[in-house]
Amino acid sequence: MKINVVESVLKANDAVARENRRRLDAAGVVAVNLMSAPGSGKTLLLEKTIPALAAARCAVLVGDLQTTRDAERLAGIAAQVTQINTGTGCHLTATQVGEGLDSLDLRSIDFLFIENVGNMVCPAAFDLGEHRRAVLLSVPEGDDKVAKYPTLFQPADVILLTKVDLLGVLDYQRSKVYQDLSRINTRAPRIEVSSTTGQGLDRWFAWLKDQRRAQVSDS
């Protein structure tokens, strides 16, 4: 008898993810899962993004092992914020997101941002029921990370090169990142952004609005 525990865990997760997606679709919400290494700038990007969309129509589920610090940063910005503490878990699961959805009034929002736990490996394996995956890669992490952590970048729907204001400060070759991406993911648009200077943020906002428009026209 063949028992594959990992496969069954993922299958169970996928079933809950499908239900999460059904709930989001029914409420007309587009959900974006932000994934990256710790400290790549997910929360600061959301702090800049949400006011540029209609803040009252945005909610955030924030995943961290411990603390409510990110939720506190976002509480005065998004209409609804729920922190999910995973304890020792290095990624969010569909069940945790489903419980997070229970805490939100989905009918009153257009965008749900899911800030995943900072980690370059585990989050990519778990469908949460999101519609789009946004992967961040910050300049200080180094220009070799796409090649070293390809599983994060393969399923990305958009790739954000963050903290580009630091390009002149660090020894960093963007061309290496783009060369590696050309082998791993040619589908996702690449957007260079700085949340501190504002560079590139308009392209990111436009991409988000396009995803929302696509969802509305699909439904």
Ligand X SMILES: Nc1nc2c(ncn2[C@@H]2O[C@H](COP(=O)(O)OP(=O)(O)OP(=O)(O)O)[C@@H](O)[C@H]2O)c(=O)[nH]1
Q: Which of 162, 185, 211, 215 binds ligand X (CB under 6 A)?
A: 162
Phi and psi at 42, nearest 5°, equal: -65, -50
36 binds ligand X (CB under 6 A): yes
- Footprint of Mg ion on residues 29-58 (CB under 5 A)? 42-43
The site that binds ligand X (CB under 6 A) totals a number of residues, namely 17
Within residues 183-202, the interface with ligand X by CB under 6 A covers 194-196
Q: Supply angle C-alpha 67, 69, 70, rounded to 5.
A: 115
Residue 192: which of Mg ion, ligand X, none does it interact with, CB under 5 to 8 A by kind? Answer: none
Handedness of CA 45, 51, 54, 60 (dihedral sign): positive
Helix H or strand E encompassing 214: helix 201-218
Report the site for ligand X in 100-119 (rule: CB under 6 A): 118
Q: Does 132 bind ligand X (CB under 6 A)?
A: no
Per partner kind, with CB cut-offs from 5 to 8 A, the member of Mg ion, ligand X, none near residue 44 is: ligand X
What CA–CA distance (Å, rounded) separates 86 from 201?
A: 30
129 touches ligand X (CB under 6 A): no
Contact partner at residue 39 from ligand X, Mg ion, none, CB < 5 to 8 Å by partner kind? ligand X
Is there binding between residue 53 and ligand X (CB under 6 A)? no
Q: Give one DSSP letter per residue of 49-74, joined into a string.
A: HHHHS-GGGEEEEEEESS-SHHHHHH
| Contact between 39 and ligand X per CB under 6 A | yes
Question: Whole-angstrom Cα distance, residue 93 to residue 116?
Answer: 9
Binding-site ranges for Mg ion (CB under 5 A): 42-43, 70
